[in-house]
Amino acid sequence: MTDTNLAVIVLAAGQGTRMKSTLPKVLHPLAGVPIVGHVLATARELAPEHVVVVVRHERDAVAATVLELLPEAVIVDQDEIPGTGRAVEQAIAVLPKAFAGDVMIVSGDVPLLDAATLTGLLVAHRAGASAATLLSAIFQDATGYGRIVRTDDGAVHRIVEQRDATPEELEIHEVNSGSYIFHLEPLREQLAKVNTRNSQGEKYITDVIGLLCASGAEVTAVPVSENWIVGGINDRVQLAETAQRLNALIVRGWQLAGVTVRDTGSTWIDLQATIGEDVELLPGTMITGPTVIERGAIIGPDTSLDTCEVGEGATVRRTDATLAVIGAGASVGPFAYLRPGTYLGAKGKIGTFVETKNSTIGAGSKVPHLSYIGDTTVGEESNVGAGTITANYDGVNKHKTVVGSHVRSGSHNVFVAPVTIGDGAYTGAGTVVRKDVPPGALAINVAPQRNMTGWTLANRPGTAAAKAAAAADGEATDKA
C-alpha cells in the first residue's frame, strides 16, 4: 500500500571524482545493478507517494538509468548553487502543493541501506515529536564524516562537516550517515535560511539540523545497527569492499535456500540470478545477469554464466557462457565457450574446447571435442566428430548449416555453409562438405592414400629420421 504521507528524495548529483572514471559514480555496477539502482529498489520497497531524484553530473545518463529502473520517479536538475541543501531545496519544490507529509532524504551512493533500516527510522520519527530524525553511526575512525554534536544532556545540537570541525569536534565518534527524515514545513522554512558561508562554499542540508535545534524544535538521531549499512562508495576501493559485502549476503541467502556453495569466497552471484534447490556451485563460479539455474544442476569449477538458462540436473564445468540455454541433463565443458544464441537440448553435450554461437543442438546430440559450431542447427541424437568446423562466413555474409537427426560426422570435417546434411547420414574423416548430403548417404572426398617408399632416405639423407628409417628397414629385411 502506498504511503501517501511519504516522499523520498535521492541525491545523485555528485561528480564522484575519486572514482577516476568516465562513468558516473552512481552508475557503476554492483551485483549486476547500478549503485543508484539499489537505492531506488529500497525506495520502491518503502512505497512512498513520491520519489524525486536530483541529478547534475552526466545528468542524461543518470536520468535515463533512473527512469528505466523507476519510471515513476521525478527527475530534478540541480542548478549552479552547490551542496546537498540546495539539491533538497529544489527537490521539495516539485512536490505537489497538497503534500504535507514526511520527506526522507537518502544518498544515491549508499547501496546497502535497506528498507528495514529506513522503515525503523520512519517509525521512530513518527512515534515522537521530532521535526527531524536522522540515521547516525558510531565509527572509531570517523574521518570524512560529518560529526553529530550533542548538548550536555545528550540532545542533538547540530552537525558539523569534517572540513569545518574544530579539533575537539573531530574527536567525536558519532557521525551523520546522510539519511534523514524531516517534516516538510520545518524543512522548507529552515532551508530558506541556509547559506554557503563555509569552507566548501556549499549549501549543506546538515545546517538545517542546527537551525531546527536553535529554533527550539526537537531533532533525534537513531544509531544504525551495523555501520556497513550506511557505507557510501567514493572510490574503487570502497566499491570493491561493498561488492564483497553484498556478495557475501547474496551467497548466504542462496545457501539458506538450499544451494550448496563449496567456496563462498570465490563464488559471485548477481542479484538478478535465480537458483533452484540442490544446485551445487563449485569454486570459481560467476553467475551474472538474470541467469536461471534449475534444481540439481552442478556449475563449476571455474565457470562464468551470464544471462543463461541451465536446466535441471545439467552439468557445466570450466565454461564461459553468455545468453545460452542448456537443457535438462545436458553436459557442457570442460573448456567450452558458449556464445550468444546457443541452445543445447536435453541430455545433449558440448565438450572440451568447443565454441558455439547462434546454434541449436538438439536433444541427445553431441559436439564432444575441438570444434566450432556457428549459425548451425543440429537435430536429435547426432554426433559431430572431433575437430569439426562449420565455415559459416564467406567474408561478407553468414550462412546456415543444417545437420539432421541421427547423423554421424567423421573427425576433422569442414561444413561449408550453406549446406544441409540429411537425417541418418554419415561423413568420412577429413571430409570437406561443400554440397548437401542426402538422408542416409555417406559423404567422402578424401583422395586415396599414396605411400612413396624410400622418400626419407632419398630426400633427407644423414638425418636422424633417415637413420631410424634405415635401421627399421634393416630389421624388416632380417625378419624376412
Catalytic residue numbers read: 369
Dist. CA 114–CA 61, nearest whole Å? 25
- Phi, psi at 67, each rounded to 5°: -70, -30
All residues at 6 or more sequence positions from 179 whose CB lies less than 8 Å from its CB, including other chains: 104, 105, 106, 107, 110, 113, 118, 121, 134, 135, 230
CB 276 within 8 A of CB 314: no
Residue-by-residue DSSP string for 58-99: THHHHHHHHHHH-TTPEEEE--SS-SHHHHHHHHHHTS-TT-
Query: Exposed, middle or buried, 339 (CB in 10 Å: 0-12/13-18/19+)?
Result: middle
CA 83 to chain centre: 31
Within 10 A of 335 (CB to CB), how many other CB atoms are there? Answer: 15
Reading the block at residue 213, the C-alpha cell is 535545534
The answer to whether the bond into 438 is cis (omega within 30° of 0) is no
Within 10 A of 416 (CB to CB), how many other CB atoms are there? Answer: 16
Buried b (16+ CB within 10 A) or exposed e, 385-414: bbbbbbbbeeeeeeebbbbbbbbebbbbbb
3-state secondary structure of 241: helix
3-state secondary structure of 399: coil
